[in-house]
A = this chain, B = another copy of it.
Amino acid sequence: MDEEKPIILTAQGSFSAGGKTLKAEGTYDPSHALDPAGQTKHVDHAYVFYQAPKDARPNALVFLHGAGQSGAAWETTPDGREGFQTIFLRKGYKVFLMDQPGRGRAASVLTSASVEPKPDEALWFDIFRFGHYPERFPGVQIPEGEEAADQLWRRVTPDTRTFDAELVSDTLSAAIDRAGPSVIVTHSQGAGAGWRAAMKNDNVRGIIALEPGVGFLFPDDDVPDPLISTSPFGALKAEGVDPRDFHKLTEIPILMIFGDNIPDDMTRWGGEDNWRVRRMEAENMAEEINRQGGDARVIRLPDVGIHGNTHFPFEDLNNREIADLMEDWMIEKELDR
């Protein structure tokens, strides 16, 4: 088994990417050092941990988490198996894991925030398509049992600022300035920042969006109407961008992946219906990219014989199979060399 072979790294470490600097008016007085006058504060950056394997491929993989998550999402599965961080290191890729501004180790931000411990895990159990809380779907791939659930829920970490895809994409682009030629891998909420980073940085060579959840983009003269859903979050609104920016998405290969238990027709189960409209919008967006000559593909995993996947394909029991599918696509698109 791969997990028993050593992992050989040539480098690892972390850095901050992007950000702003606040400065308070006045002059610093060391005898009133608690007064902000004349003092600075560095905010709104991303935190990035990187590792380079021996004989690394030229393209790095830069991972951006989804809502409520941090870069830790990619490290280990809830039942303690290797996550995409280590799996893709073993496949020869340099791996960069980012915490976006206002999340995890990059929580120092320009704006004030209040953090409240709101019990909401049943909501997310349903949204993540583990089942209908507390019942799991038959054959669902998320690891089972109390210990795995404990690990899974404790990985959730709150926001210290409102999500801003434009800001996150600035820091993602700054991370890619350090990473060099890269394939971006986003999860869920991260998708919007992934597309926007590709519009800003020529070092983005491809994008894999795992279950993109918000930030679906269209040329701003052609934004589709909101998609009505029974999702607890209501209708899904697409976003418009300058058509010249949108066109940049036609210049790189794009893969979007959706898991199982997503209905074709509207259902009263908001958790699943949430993904019905998101998958639909992803397919609309891919169609628009391809209509303009691009190369975007949406894979519905059950259509390729892979069943039971949740909103966390990188945590699921078959996460290696998902990684292999991503790798096959990168090989096909010559992103592995």
Query: Which A residues form the contact surface with B (CB < 8 A)?
Result: 3, 6-16, 19, 22-24, 28, 30-31, 33-34, 36, 38-43, 45, 47, 49, 54, 70-72, 75-76, 80, 82-83, 85-86, 99, 104-123, 126-127, 132-133, 150-151, 153-158, 160, 232, 268-271
Binding site of A, secondary structure by majority: helix, strand, loop or mixed? mixed
A7-B8, A33-B270 known; A76 and B115 CB under 8 Å? no
A13-B80, A49-B75 known; A232 and B117 CB under 8 Å? no
Nearest residue in B to A116 (C-beta to C-beta)?
A: B112
A33–B14 Cα distance when bound, in Å, is 38
User: In the assembled complex, how far is the CB of residue A204 from the closest CB belonging to chain B, in whole angstroms?
Assistant: 23
Nearest residue in B to A3 (C-beta to C-beta)?
A: B11
- Interface residue from B42, B111, B156, B158 paired with A153 (Cβ < 8 Å): B42
Inside 8 A of A40's CB, which chain B residues have their CB? 119, 121-122, 153
What are 17 A-B contacts with C-beta separation under 8 Å? A6-B10, A7-B8, A8-B8, A12-B85, A13-B82, A30-B133, A30-B270, A36-B120, A39-B121, A40-B153, A41-B153, A49-B75, A99-B105, A108-B157, A109-B115, A112-B114, A115-B160
Inside 8 A of A132's CB, which chain B residues have their CB? 30
Is A107 in contact with B117, judged by CB distance below 8 angstroms?
no
Nearest residue in B to A81 (C-beta to C-beta)?
A: B13
Is A157 in contact with B36, judged by CB distance below 8 angstroms?
no
Inside 8 A of A158's CB, which chain B residues have their CB? 107-108, 160
Is A126 in contact with B270, judged by CB distance below 8 angstroms?
no
Q: Which of A24, A82, A104, A112 has the most CB of B within 10 A?
A: A104
Inside 8 A of A154's CB, which chain B residues have their CB? 16, 19, 42, 45, 47, 106, 108
Inside 8 A of A7's CB, which chain B residues have their CB? 8-10, 12
Closest 6 CB pairs of A and B: A16-B154, A13-B76, A39-B119, A42-B153, A33-B123, A28-B122
Is B36 in contact with A118, judged by CB distance below 8 angstroms?
yes
A75-B14, A232-B34, A270-B31 known; A22 and B54 CB under 8 Å? no
Nearest residue in B to A76 (C-beta to C-beta)?
A: B13
User: In the assembled complex, how far is the CB of residue A129 from the closest CB belonging to chain B, in whole angstroms?
Assistant: 13
A26–B79 Cα distance when bound, in Å, is 29
